[in-house]
Structure 1
Amino acid sequence: MVNPEIKIKYLYHSGFRVETSKHIFIFDYYKGNVDMGDKDTYVFSSHGHPDHFNKEIFQWQKQKPNIKYILSDDISIKQKKGNIFVMSPYDEIKVDDVIIKAFGSTDLGVSFLIQFLGTNLFHAGDLNWWYWSQDVPEEIKRAEILFKKEIAKIKGESIDIAFFPVDPRLEHNYCVGADYFIQEISPKVLIPMHFGDNGETAKQYAEKMKDSPTRIIDIAEKGQELVLD
């Protein structure tokens, strides 16, 4: 990571605002306060689940006409305009000076790897090892196979910052996906997400991984901000 400063604001659940010297990236907004700022703005929605997507994002272009939207292809759009880019898994596009790669998900939609100013940032969306203890053994094994197959496609990518689920609904399996992602991908920084109002889950994971070479940052309070340099 060569970018001198990146500001990250936690919006809610899997929603983040990431600001660089040139850009504002907004990921999986569905509620929270967002400052549009005066920089080039790119809004990402990994899929159409209501905890990852809110059509309110399209109202933002009234105050910021040059805003760009990068959406998973499962999201229904009545009228596709020139500032809307629709991506399927394994697509790659360049929007201005930002390179965007879409990877798969183990639920719906895509995950995003974006490259900007010498930095690689990954947002997992709903890509996770969905290990539900109540599932039958065949379902548990299938979830493992699907997840590891997707991670294998990402392996080899250099990732500086990753936003990745640690879902407390999975109970004691809440971090099996994040653990495997770190093991296989080795991001420099991992920021837990997808925990709703249960911010303690992020803190718990940061404590568990305090000796990991990957730095875990528990940004868990709505509106909380941090600066990476």
Structure 2
Amino acid sequence: MELIYLHHSGFVILTSDATIVIDYFEDSLSPKDGILHDEILKREGRMYVLSSHFHADHFNKDIFEWKNTKNDITYILSNDIHKKRKIARDSASWLKKGEEYNDNNIKVKAYGSTDVGISFLIETEGKTIFHAGDLNNWHWMEESPETEWKRDEKKFLDEIDIISKDYKNIDLVLFPVDPRLGNEYMRGGKQFIDLITPSVFIPMHFWNDFTSANRFQRYAIGKGIKSPEINHRGQIFHNIL
């Protein structure tokens, strides 16, 4: 199984039988240029396209153009996209928190978010992969009063507690490590892996600040978790699982 980092929170997972694209909004070089358009869309086998919510850095309606050249493609999208982006109901399988999509290749369960939309727990080829979407401890501690950030933190901790009751261990976690949050920008990621132990942790939602994102590596490795450096758009993590 291979993992490809596109940009921001966008990833591609390559299995032996399928291609899974998550939260695409730009390709690896520019909005429509890079490894996805040059190679991945030409790959044989079934393709699944997942989007966690309607925000422009997680969803791009151009994904529906891919079906013009790709026959076997399934869209699994958060229900807020249908409402906010006026996408036809018959264009996708729509998920709300607690709902699932299943077929012979993949199972996708929707968990909650601390912003809008959902997060994804994907099961395929005997592996579990969690993509957080905008689920994070968006605490803004340096700007918000204590009562406010503690309220928001509780909402986050309650959500990961729900996930942990179903999955105490996850093979691969893709999770926001966003330096815009200030001094404790890694707080949500630390809390997540303290409660749910992944085999591999990859940061996301850091735009182009790779240095800040990779500071999480030391904490993850100290917990016995594999956390390879992420260094550029279009990076391929071979044999990630």
TM-score range, shorter chain: over 0.9
More helix by share: 2
> Within 2, Cα distance between the matches of 1:66 and 1:166?
33
1:164 CA displacement: 0.3
Matched residue type, 1:214: I
1:142 is aligned to 2:151: yes
> Within 1, Cα distance between the matches of 2:4 and 2:107?
22
Q: Secondary structure at the match of 1:213?
A: coil
Partner deviation per Cα, 1:42-63 (whole Å, 9 max, x = no partner): 0110000101011011111111
Native 8 Å contact 1:25 1:43 kept in 2: yes
Q: Secondary structure at the match of 1:172?
A: coil
Aligned to 1:3: none
Query: How many residue pairs end up in the alignment?
Result: 223
1:31-180 to structure 2, matched below 5 A, reads 31-32=26-27, 33=34, 34=36, 35-36=40-41, 37-76=43-82, 77-81=86-90, 84-132=92-140, 133-156=142-165, 157=167, 158-180=169-191
Native 8 Å contact 1:28 1:45 kept in 2: yes
> Within 2, Cα distance between the matches of 1:159 and 1:40?
24
> Within 1, Cα distance between the matches of 2:124 and 2:237?
19
1:208 CA displacement: 3.9
1:218 CA displacement: 2.6
Question: Normalised by the size of structure 1, how large is the TM-score?
Answer: 0.93
Question: Normalised by the size of structure 2, how large is the TM-score?
Answer: 0.89
Partner deviation per Cα, 1:24-75 (whole Å, 9 max, x = no partner): 1111000013122112110110000101011011111111122011100100
Matched residue type, 2:45: K
Native 8 Å contact 1:202 1:220 kept in 2: no
Q: Secondary structure at the match of 2:155?
A: helix
Partner deviation per Cα, 1:113-164 (whole Å, 9 max, x = no partner): 0111100000000000011020111210111110011001000303100100
Native 8 Å contact 1:10 1:220 kept in 2: no
Matched residue type, 1:218: E
1:90 CA displacement: 0.9
1:217 CA displacement: 2.4
- Aligned-residue Cα RMSD (Å) equals 1.3
Native 8 Å contact 2:198 2:225 kept in 1: yes
> Within 2, Cα distance between the matches of 1:226 and 1:97?
21
> Within 1, Cα distance between the matches of 2:21 and 2:237?
15
> Within 2, Cα distance between the matches of 1:69 and 1:220?
29
Q: Relative to structure 2, which stretch is displaced further, 214-223 or 18-27? A: 214-223
1:93 CA displacement: 2.2
1:171 CA displacement: 1.6
> Within 2, Cα distance between the matches of 1:18 and 1:54?
18
Identity of matched residues, %: 39
> Within 1, Cα distance between the matches of 2:121 and 2:103?
13
Matched residue type, 1:49: H
1:214 CA displacement: 1.6
Unaligned runs of 5+ in 1: 1-5
Native 8 Å contact 2:4 2:237 kept in 1: yes
